[in-house]
Chains A and B, each alone.
Chain A
Amino acid sequence: MTEEHTAERWLGRSVKRKEDDRFLQGRGNYVDDINLPGMLYMSVLRSPVAHARINSIDTSAAEALPGVVAVVTGELLAQHNLAWMPTLSGDTQAVLATDKVRMQGQEVACVVAEDPYVAHDALELIEVDYDPLPVVITPQQSLEPGAPVIRDDKEDKQDNRVYHWEAGDKEATDRAFEQADRVVSFDTFYPRCHPAPMETCGCVADVNPVTGKITIYMTSQAPHAHRTVFALVTGLPEHQIQIISPDLGGGFGNKVPVYPGYVVATAASLLIGRPVKWIEDRTGNLISTGFARDFYMNGELALNNDGKMLGLRVKMLSDQGYAYADAQPSKLRAGLFHIVTGSYDIPAAHVVTDGAYTNKAPGGVAYRCSFRVTEASFFIERLVQTAAYELGVDPVELRRKNFIQPEQFPYTSATGFVYDSGDYERALDKALEMLGYEDLKAEQAKARDEGKLLGIGVATFTEVVGAGPSKDYDILGLKMFDSAELRVHPTGKAILKIGVQTQGQGHETTFAQIVANELGIPPSDILVQHGDTDNTPYGLGTYASRSTPTAGAATAMVSRKLRDKARELAAHLLEVAPEDLEWAGDRFQVRGAPDRQTTIQEAAFAAYTNHPQGMEAGLEGVTYYDPPNMTYPFGAYAVAVEVDRGTGQWKVKRMVAVDDCGVRINPMIVEGQIMGGLTEGFAMAAMELITFDELGNCIGSNFSDYLIPTSWETPKFELGETTTPSPHHPIGAKGVGESATVGSPAAFVNAVVDALAHAGVRELQMPIGPDKVWQALVEAGLAE
């Protein structure tokens, strides 16, 4: 070995995924694959109506059906003080309805039976007498004086307001508007959609009647937080509760909240003394679990005639459903919506947000939304495009004129965020170059002359992810740090245990790469464990693109801690002072005599076989990482669409996505995240919608009504990248799981609107089906 020794590099390398083989061979272990001896099956009776008082529930016929072991109602749960449970936003939600039902699909009773088919049969035999009440479907209705009070279970609750929350500086913003040459306003609705992971929610609850230990195999993106909630709900000792989140078939935020099914299955197992499995059906998933969006937004942008932005006012009204059951930082009632100033240097901003109860499913923070950054980014990117039309300037130039400049970082926004790093123009330039923007503009003009419609849409988004610094970020008081525990065994193989939980993001591979990068142990020698509360350090889980910014940082830091100890061990073996050693990626070399060296594996062996007197044996450590700031990924997306004047159909001609998520650990996995997010962004723009009729019936309760794009509809994506490292993250990474759903819906909508903009069209509401485009074509006189 000579001085030229270079260790293998593990960052920026598309290592094939360690988890793939078991999935490809049908050997994944999802919740529904778990089968315990003596296991019972639970099914859920859901309310057919959206708002009604419950007069009575007759379960006698169901209980008499052979094979039925128990029928659980709210009344039974109330005897154990379990009829209601806390939500992760500090509200309450019914486990099983007692007084009334407050949404269609609400859980009313559960049947536990020897066989899943029998459990479903018995649901038909339960008689519930409902007394219908007036239904509230929109937050506007909900906040009207005299609207039926949905949460009359709460003492003193006289209206349906969930929260009122403001950010920014009203007076400074008012002054900016007084000084402005122009004010452009924009009003839009981001409709309700649903993450709909391919695997629905479910659990197997196994309470050991002898030891009292409760093991819950559960579709959980946040097993540690869920264990604490379970302990608080039930009063059971936390060390006797083990939550195991095995392989998850997607999550996208849908598996962050605690659902009634988990609680009832656990209570049933506790009362019956046998394991109980509950697997939600697809309709249950779509009508009752964490949805996304349902945000009404309007605002105004103050500008000078030269296009310089001076101020921004935004009002937002959120439909929270019948409970405030987001899982979001408790101090921030509307999540991170106040990032709505986006990538722009807007000196003054004021954001006013309100949340309201309706007779709909609770939730809202889900579907790759980074705590409402999706809605914020969509709004500002649509508003900026509208402003460009009103000013008669190229939307790209208006953006360029107002970008926060690279030298302004760290940049404090008007609503109080401290952006860590960015180079927005570089990403935009790259996207435009890839798209061939100037040529496309010429093509667009020519197409219009020929009577064809071509639209070009751009979105230059900035996210805020990686929650978060514990001084500002907590959920139910639990601070949003995250953790990593690393054990290097005598032979130099390692186990990394992390407090976050993968749902397909490839943590078993990328987190092994982080360790490999710091210690030189190849990823194939590192086992990554997660999702088991007994065997991993405490952490708040995987959502809001937080795993790499938090647990990824903890992993790098714990590896460095072990490397420092390995240096002491190497110095002992080589009989030199620790400061005489140089780290060479996977070994220590004596400065000036590189042939004298100790590999990380040799140092690990010494930690258990030959450690110096006075040193603690072993090579293990744990780090709890409290991030000093959030991270701010960004990107520039550009879309070209063709619109058919005869049918209103639109087709993506090109879609270019340039992402800057800081340092990329595994580019293959990063691009996979972006591709998936772009598909979901396209889905929101084009087809996905959960809506309700006036009686509160959910339309979008199965995959025939809730349209998810297939390989046939999904366009092709062209990916590009720039790299602006996060200055405060140990390896410069920023998180990428949600960039594409944050950035792309506005790019698609901007493109379709742009195709019609010359005829005065400014807004098309998502999802933009051909019906809406056709109507706009007719109104604009463009229909053929």
Chain B
Amino acid sequence: MKVSVVVNGQERSAEVEARLLLVHFLREKLRLTGTHVGCDTTSCGACTVLLDGTPVKSCTMFAVQADGREVTTVEGLAAAGTLSPIQEGFKEEHGLQCGFCTPGMLLASKALLEENPDPSEEEIRWALSGNLCRCTGYQNIVNAVQWTARKLQSDSATTGAS
């Protein structure tokens, strides 16, 4: 089957088996290996991408289900060599160690902040509860989201004032 998906702003098409998972389409067909597979059972969230802006677990979707839709992966967060505010927040607050869950965490966090620019700690913990992490223990990840929320607010205040 032919599938055509806008990935990180670029239209990408490929001939795929109907059973091909979206995560394998991204990793194997498009060689976007920032999206990881951690569990096979929709439990860990390492494969989280944004589908039309909403976080989904790409190991539990077929590529054909994304046909005609927009997907954002970690590679689409910022131009290569630069960091977007959420990526910067994770670095500042030591919100990553081995980096394997990080792409999923970043995308889930980005979606949260777009919907709720000033989340409480409880709201952050709830929004990230579909993403498992073994190394950092979450506290610094929560701090990273809070750091980013503050940064985005101060950036928009600066922009608003100018």
- Which among B31, B77, B80, B126 is the interface contact of A35 at CB below 8 angstroms? B31
Q: Across the interface, do A199 and B36 meet the contact criterion of CB distance under 8 Å?
A: yes
Report chain A residues within 8 Å CB of B19.
Answer: 117
5 A-B pairs with CB atoms under 8 Å apart are A27-B34, A199-B38, A282-B41, A711-B131, A717-B137
Decide if B125 touches A504 in the complex (CB within 8 Å): no
> Are A17 and B36 in contact (CB-based, < 8 A)?
no
Tell me which of A224-232, A530-538, A676-684 binds B. Answer: A676-684
Asked whether A21 and B83 contact (CB < 8 A) given A198-B134, A680-B134, A711-B125, the answer is yes
Closest to B139 in A: A675
* Interface pick from B61-69, B92-100, B150-158: B92-100
Further pairs besides A26-B33, A26-B34: 16, Cβ < 8 Å: A16-B91, A17-B91, A21-B91, A23-B96, A24-B99, A24-B106, A30-B36, A32-B33, A32-B37, A198-B101, A199-B36, A250-B97, A504-B99, A672-B140, A716-B139, A717-B139
Instruction: Tell me, in angstroms, the Cα distance from A716 to B143 when the chains sit together.
Output: 11
Closest residue of chain A to B35, judged by CB? A26
Contact residues in A for B139 (Cβ distance below 8 Å): 675, 714, 716-717
Tell me if B134 and A675 are in contact (CB < 8 A). no
What A residues does B100 contact at CB under 8 A? 28, 30, 197-199, 249-250
| Complex interface: chain A residues within 8 A of B73 (CB) | 26
Contact A24 B40 (CB under 8 A): no
Q: How far is the CA of A503 from the CA of B138 in the complex (A)?
A: 17
Complex CA–CA separation, A676 to B80 (angstroms): 29
Of A444-452, A473-481, A702-710, the stretch lying at the interface with chain B is A702-710
Q: Which of A116, A279, A505, A712 has the most CB of B within 10 A?
A: A712
Could you tell me the distance between the alpha carbons of A268 and B97 in the complex, rounded to whole angstroms?
34
Q: Does chain A have a CB within 8 A of B128?
A: yes
Known contacts being A25-B80, A196-B134, is A703 close to B43, with CB within 8 Å? yes
Given contacts A504-B135, A676-B137, contact A711 B97 (CB under 8 A): no
Interface residue tally on B, bucketed by range:
35 or more
In the assembled complex, A3 has its CB within 8 A of some CB on chain B: no
B119 CB to nearest chain A CB (Å)? 12
Closest to B34 in A: A26
Whether the pair A250, B98 counts as a contact (CB closer than 8 A) is yes
Q: When A26-B73, A35-B31, A672-B140 are in contact, do A20 and B38 touch as well, CB less than 8 Å?
A: no
Cβ contacts under 8 Å, A195 to chain B: 134
Is the beta-carbon distance between A711 and B128 smaller than 8 angstroms?
Answer: yes
Chain A residues with Cβ below 8 Å from B39 are 282, 702-703
Contacts of B113 in A (CB 8 A): none
Q: Is A668 an interface residue (CB 8 A)?
A: yes
Which one, B20, B83, B124, contacts A24 given CB within 8 A? Answer: B83
Contacting residues, chain B, for A702 (C-beta < 8 A): 39-41, 43
Check if A234 is an interface residue, CB within 8 A of chain B.
no
Cβ B36 vs Cβ A198 within 8 A: yes
Name the CB-closest residue of B to A29.
B33
Neighbouring A residues of B46 by C-beta, 8 Å: 198
Give Cα A712–Cα B33 distance, bound, in whole angstroms. Answer: 28
User: Cβ of B90 and Cβ of A24 under 8 Å apart?
Assistant: yes
Which residues does chain B contribute within 8 Å of A472, judged by CB atoms? none
| CB–CB A249/B98 < 8 A | yes
Is A725 interfacial (CB 8 A cutoff)? no
Say whether A198 contacts B90, CB under 8 Å: no
0 or 1 for each of B7-31: is its CB under 8 Å from A? (1 = yes):
0000000000101100010010001
Q: Indicate if the CB atoms of B36 and A676 lie closer than 8 Å.
A: no
**Is B136 positioned at the interface, with any CB of A under 8 Å from its CB?**
yes
Residues in chain B near residue A20, CB distance under 8 A:
90-91, 96, 99
| A436 CB to nearest B CB, Å | 21
Interface contact A25-B137, CB-CB below 8 Å = no
- Which chain B residues have a beta carbon within 8 Å of chain A's beta carbons? 17, 19-20, 24, 27, 31-41, 43-44, 46, 73-75, 77-78, 80-81, 83, 87, 90-92, 94, 96-103, 106, 124-126, 128-142
Does A675 lie within 8 Å of B98, measured CB to CB? no
Interface status of A33 (Cβ within 8 A of chain B): yes
- Contact assessment for A710 and B98 in the assembled complex, using a CB-CB cutoff below 8 Å: no
| Residues of A close to B41: CB separation below 8 A | 282, 702-704
Q: With a CB–CB cut-off of 8 A, which chain A residues contact B17?
A: 117
Which residues of chain A come closer than 8 Å to B140, judged between CB atoms?
672, 675
Nearest 7 CB-CB pairings of A with B:
A26-B34, A23-B99, A504-B98, A249-B100, A679-B137, A703-B43, A26-B74
Q: Is the CB of B35 within 8 A of A281?
A: no
Instruction: Give chain B residues whose Cβ lies under 8 Å from the Cβ of A708.
Output: 132, 134
A1-45 at interface with B (beta carbon < 8 Å): 16-17, 19-28, 30, 32-33, 35
B92 touches A16 (CB 8 A): yes
Question: Roughly how many angstroms separate A677 CA and B31 CA in the complex, as a whole number?
Answer: 33
Within 8 A of B (CB), among A294-323: none
How long is the Cα–Cα vector from A677 to B138 in the complex, in angstroms? Answer: 11
Q: Between A and B, how many residue pairs show CB distances below 8 Å?
A: 177
Per the bound structure, the CA–CA distance linking A281 and B38 in Å amounts to 8
Size category, A interface: 35 or more
Taking CB atoms, residues of chain A closer than 8 Å to B135 are 198, 250, 504, 672, 676
A703 to B130, CA, bound (A): 12
Interface string of A212-229 (1 = CB under 8 A from B): 000000000000000000
Q: Report Cα–Cα, A417/B130, bound state, in Å.
A: 44
Is A355 part of the contact surface with B, judged by Cβ < 8 Å? no
Give A20 to B102 CA distance when docked, in angstroms: 10
* Pairwise interchain contact B91-A24, C-beta atoms closer than 8 A: yes
Report chain B residues within 8 Å CB of A677.
Answer: 137
In this assembly, does A669 line the interface, its C-beta being within 8 Å of a C-beta of chain B?
Answer: yes
- Binary interface encoding of chain A residues 494-510 relative to chain B, with 1 for a CB under 8 A from any of its CBs, else 0: 00000000011110000
Whether B97 contacts A506 by the Cβ 8 Å rule is yes
* Assembly CA distance A251 to B98 (angstroms): 9
Hey, what's the 0/1 contact readout for A281-298 against B, CB within 8 Å counting as 1?
111000000000000000
A419 located at the interface, meaning its Cβ lies under 8 Å from any Cβ of chain B in the complex: no
Q: What is the CA–CA distance of A251 and B74 in the complex, to the nearest angstrom?
A: 23
Name B40's contact: one of A30, A283, A668 (CB within 8 Å).
A283
Minimum CB–CB distance from B38 to chain A (whole Å) comes to: 5
In angstroms, Cα B138 to Cα A16, docked, is 18
A249 to B78, CA, bound (A): 22
Residues of A contacting B126 in the complex (Cβ-Cβ under 8 angstroms): 711-712
Cα-based distance from A23 to B95 in the complex (angstroms): 11
Verify A197–B98 contact, CB threshold 8 A. yes
How far, in angstroms, from A711 to B131 measured CA to CA in the complex?
8
Measured in the bound complex, the distance between the Cα atoms of B126 and A677 in whole Å is 21
Interface pair A503/B98, CB less than 8 Å apart: yes
Q: In the complex, what residues of B have CB within 8 A of residue A371's CB?
A: none
Known A-B contacts A26-B73, A27-B34; A668 and B94 likewise in contact (beta carbons under 8 Å): yes
Query: A703 contacts B36, CB within 8 Å?
Result: no
Cβ contacts under 8 Å, B142 to chain A: 711
Residue A588 is within 8 A (CB to CB) of chain B in the complex: no
Give the distance in Å from the alpha carbon of A675 to the alpha carbon of B126 in the complex.
19
Q: Contacts A675-B137, A702-B41; is A24 near B132 (CB within 8 Å)?
A: no
- Contact indicator A714/B137 (Cβ below 8 Å): yes
Q: Which residues of A contact B33 (CB under 8 A)?
A: 26, 30, 32-33
A19 with B136: CB separation less than 8 A: no
Residue of B44, B46, B101, B139 most packed against chain A (CB within 10 A): B139
Question: In the bound complex, do residue A712 and residue B129 qualify as a contact, i.e. CB atoms below 8 Å apart?
Answer: yes
Per a CB cutoff under 8 Å, which of A25, A30, A504 touches B75? A25
Specify the chain A residue showing the minimal Cβ separation from B136.
Answer: A676
How would residues 658 to 674 of chain A score, 1 for a CB under 8 Å from any chain B CB and 0 otherwise?
A: 00000000001101100
Once the chains bind, are A26 and B134 in contact (CB under 8 Å)? no
In this complex, the member of A200, A677, A714 whose beta carbon has the largest number of chain B beta carbons within 10 angstroms is: A714
Which residues 502-528 of A have a CB within 8 angstroms of B?
Answer: 503-506
Shortest C-beta distance, A710 to chain B (Å), equals: 4
In the assembled complex, the Cα of A23 lies from the Cα of B87 at a distance in Å of 10
Q: Please provide the chain A residues from 229 to 283 with a CB less than 8 Å away from any CB of chain B in the complex.
A: 247-252, 279, 281-283
Query: In the complex, which residues of chain A have a beta carbon less than 8 angstroms from the beta carbon of B77?
Result: 25-26
With A198-B133, A675-B137 given, is the CB distance from A282 to B97 under 8 Å? Answer: no
Find out whether the CB atom of A252 lies under 8 angstroms from the CB atom of B134.
yes
